[in-house]
Amino acid sequence: MHPALGIQNLERLSGSLHESQNSAVAAYHGSSSALREIMTLLLEDRLRADQALLLPIVYHNLRPPTHPQNSFERSDHPRAIAARITIGILGVMRKILPRPALLEIWPRYWSWFQLVHPIETDDPADQEPALLGLILIISEVCFDVDELRKLSYTPRLRVYIGRAWNILLPARINDPSYARVWRTLWLFVRGTCGSRETGPTFTLEQLQEYIDGAGGIPDFVSLILRHIALYSRGREQDADGLDTVFYFLTFIYSDANLLREELLSRRFVESAMKALAAFPNLTARFPKVFIPCCLRLILAILTSAPVHATVKRAVEAGIIPILVQYSMRSDAHAFADTMRQILAFLTTVCVYPSVLRPLLKSMGKLEHTFQSPQFQHSPIQPHWISLASILRRHFSVMEELEGAGAVKRRACDNFECGKSADEREFRRCAACKCMYYCCVGCQSHDWIKGGHREECGSLRDIRRDNYLSFLTSRQKLFILTLVSRQYPDPHAALRTDDKNKHDFFVHFNFHDAQSYLVDGRSNPRIFELTDSDNLEGYPGMQEMVKRASRSQGYMVPILVSINAGPPKFCSDHVILRRSRIDSVEVVHSFLF
């Protein structure tokens, strides 16, 4: 036992309480009146020099209960009353607690907290904020990161931490206590999830406990948005918690994927862009390591599926001016590789008409910035010039197609037909809303013999859950036109599989972004890519494979699946799915 918890301190305390010498002994044995008297003395600051002498009283009154736990369900139980007052005393004297003594007190405190907390939440006075705040105070004052990591395995503790997030953070972010409470909360969370060097270590189940305590995903995301808004004001003093913000958000995007849909809402993306725009201005106390962290977060947002919708949302929220601002920093060379990856990715999504127009519009507003000497001397300037050139070239092709009305054409989804005509002449399957047919006969034939009867339900589920972003006829035609314009001789750009003698034109593959391969041996055809090397784990994917990549008269039932990974750094398996489910074939492993 730590010396501060010994009975000798109780004897010394009795001698210092001149007005009521018996109060210390009575409080030690659980007298509620004596404990309240000591609490009053503490609040009146009349025990400043003797606070440490109270530790034996705290330790003894938080001893494990000998009665069944259900006997403490009533708030008038003497032991429960003594424990509640003792926890309050512990909170008042928190700043003088010796760390070794607190480590011994903690198991007793936590055991009683779980018994007392339900009572306090029903109490009209509602002392729950004080109880939850004490957990945070103990974490902040008396534990280092290693001890917090051990503490994180305490059952249900994360649920209460999540509840503290929701209760203790004030409604107004301008409240000075907001940043203080967040730092206290985050100290505990960082202790449970590793370091920047080792990366996040807690599991989805542990993250779910925080979410449950916060009141569910919507409330949890609301807290994140409020915190991002706090750091979007661009003030120097707001830089204290930036590390913790990005550490948490990059964990959510990179590993958990639990809140993907909620964190990709328009409100979140707009809040994130506003905060990211303010961060580069915080230079005095803003370590250079945070800029690459900002860029990684941007890349995580951009590459979250469905890619074209996410990129469009981010561009409309102002991501291009932010990237230009980062490119003009004096230390841009330190994160030039990451910036080049982002610009290369933006180049690949130029094949989406829905992304192309807002991208070009956003860059058009920065013409004056592009002419500035600061931008001209940036190591990333050539990559911006390349992106602008590709944007203009693609946009001219899109205008040409739209002017000719070609984007309104479709191909019949009956394998044995293949008729291509204006989309207004086609009928759509009313159930899945994915397949198009030129007549009732083709629709009936595909339902009976073409396999649509088996795949219709899966396609409906995939469309409802937004699991896979379907290529529209407009997108397919646009991509095919770009390929034919950029590569008049497709064979010059082909990758050859020496094993199976298959030739492929590789458009791009980055992370989990949707990309394309075009078979260049004969008529150009598009194959959709996923981020897995097999079809397992994709509900309904096998049924929809034979419909995944049809384009303008070429009904090609092929899916190409490539492992996630940055280009030029990994070998990836290519899987071809030909006309039937049972004929999956590994074609080759090759370098991008």
Highest mean pLDDT, choosing among 222-231, 275-284, 517-526:
222-231
SS3 of residue 119 by DSSP: helix
Partners of 517 in the beta sheet?
506, 527
Per the prediction, the chain carries an average pLDDT of 65
198 vs 368, higher pLDDT: 368
- Do 29 and 79 touch, CB atoms closer than 8 A? no
| Best-predicted range by mean pLDDT (352-356, 393-397, 490-494, 545-549) | 393-397
Least-confidence region, from 51-55, 121-125, 469-473: 121-125
- As a whole-number percent, the residues of the chain with pLDDT over 70 amount to 43
User: What is residue 435's three-state secondary structure?
Assistant: coil
Q: DSSP letters along 511-576, please?
A: TT---EEEE-SSS--EEE--S-SSSTT-TTHHHHHTTTT-BTTB-----EE-----TTS-EEEEEE
Tell me: the pLDDT tens digits for 334-358? Answer: 888 888 888 877 887 787 788 888 9
Q: Which of 290-294, 308-312, 555-559 has the lowest mean pLDDT?
A: 555-559
Unique residue bearing structure tokens 């607190």: 102
The overall longest dimension of the chain from CA atoms, in Å, is 102
The two beta strands, 516-519 and 526-528, are antiparallel
Q: How far apart, in whole angstroms, are the C-alpha atoms of residue 327 and residue 375? A: 7
Rounded CA-CA distance 559/348 in Å is 19
CB atoms within 10 A of CB 99: 12
Average pLDDT over residues 447-472: 62
Strands 427-428 and 526-528: unpaired
CB atoms within 10 A of CB 10: 19
- When mean pLDDT is compared across 53-62, 68-77, 165-174, the lowest value belongs to 68-77
Least confident of 100-114, 189-203, 259-273: 189-203
CA atoms within 13 A on the CB side of 151: 27
Q: What integer pLDDT is reported at residue 150 of this predicted model? A: 62
E strands in 465-521: 494-497, 502-508, 516-519
3-state secondary structure of 505: strand
8 Å CB contact between 306 and 514: yes
- The one-character DSSP state at 498 is T
pLDDT at position 408? 52
Q: What is the pLDDT of residue 573?
A: 34
86-100, 181-195, 223-237 — which is least confidently predicted? Answer: 181-195
Residues 540-561 have a mean pLDDT of 33
Q: 518, 481 in Cβ contact below 8 A? A: no
| Predicted confidence (pLDDT) at residue 547 exceeds the cutoff of 90 | no
- In this predicted model, what pLDDT tens digit does every residue of 380-425 receive, in sequence order? 999 999 889 889 988 988 888 776 655 555 667 775 665 666 666 7
Quote the crossing angle between the two packed helices 381-404 and 353-364, to the nearest 10°. Answer: 130
pTM of the shown model: 0.56
User: Closest Cα partner for 310 from 360, 345, 361, 274?
Assistant: 345
* Torsion 152-153-155-156 (CA) sign: positive
Token representation of residue 253: 């995007």
How is 130-167 classified by DSSP, letter by letter?
HHHHHHHHHHHHH--HHHHHHHTTSTTHHHHHHHHHHH
Residue identified by tokens 């001893």 is: 63
Contact 98, 51 (CB under 8 A): no
Long-range contact pairs involving 165-170 (C-beta distance under 8 Å, separation at least 24): 165/210, 165/213, 165/214, 165/220, 165/223, 166/213, 166/214, 166/215, 166/219, 166/223, 167/128, 167/129, 167/132, 168/129, 168/132, 168/133, 168/136, 169/223, 169/226
Tens digits of residue pLDDT in 420-450 = 666 667 888 888 777 778 889 988 988 887 7
Helices (H) and strands (E) in the chain, counts: 27, 11
**What is the pLDDT, as a whole number, of residue 499?**
43
Q: Is the pLDDT of residue 44 over 70?
A: yes
Q: What is the pLDDT of residue 270?
A: 72
Q: What is the pLDDT of residue 53?
A: 79
**Nearest CA-CA partner of 524 in 496, 560, 553:** 553
Residue 222 pLDDT exceeds 50: yes
Give the lowest-confidence range in 171-185, 226-240, 469-483, 525-539: 525-539
pLDDT of residue 161: 74
Higher-pLDDT residue of 328 and 85 is: 328
pLDDT tier at 320, thresholds 50, 70, 90: very high
CA dist 291 and 499 (Å) reads 44
Contact of 478 with 353, CB cutoff 8 Å: yes
For residue 148, name the pLDDT band (cuts at 50, 70, 90).
Answer: low
* CB proximity list for 11: less than 8 A, separation 6 or greater: none
Which whole number is the average pLDDT over 128-153?
A: 61
Q: Which residue has the higher pLDDT, 440 or 546?
A: 440
Q: Give the whole-angstrom CA distance, residue 324 versus residue 334.
A: 15
Res 384: pLDDT: 93
Residue in the block written with tokens 């070009």? 360
Q: Name residue 573's amino acid.
A: H
Predicted confidence band of residue 363 (pLDDT cuts 50, 70, 90)? very high
Looking at residue 331, its pLDDT comes to: 81
**What is 311-339 written as a DSSP string?**
HHHHHHTTHHHHHHHHHTSTTGGGGHHHH
- What are 245-259's pLDDT values in tens digits? 555 555 555 444 555
Give the pLDDT score at 563. Answer: 32
Residues with Cβ within 8 Å of 223's Cβ and at least 6 positions away in sequence, in order, are 165, 166, 169, 214
The whole-angstrom separation of Cα 23 and Cα 36 is: 10
SS3 62: coil
8 A C-beta contact, residue 558 and residue 576 = yes
Q: Give the CA distances from residue 263 to residues 85, 207, 302, 488, in Å, rounded to whole numbers and listed in that order.
A: 41, 15, 12, 42
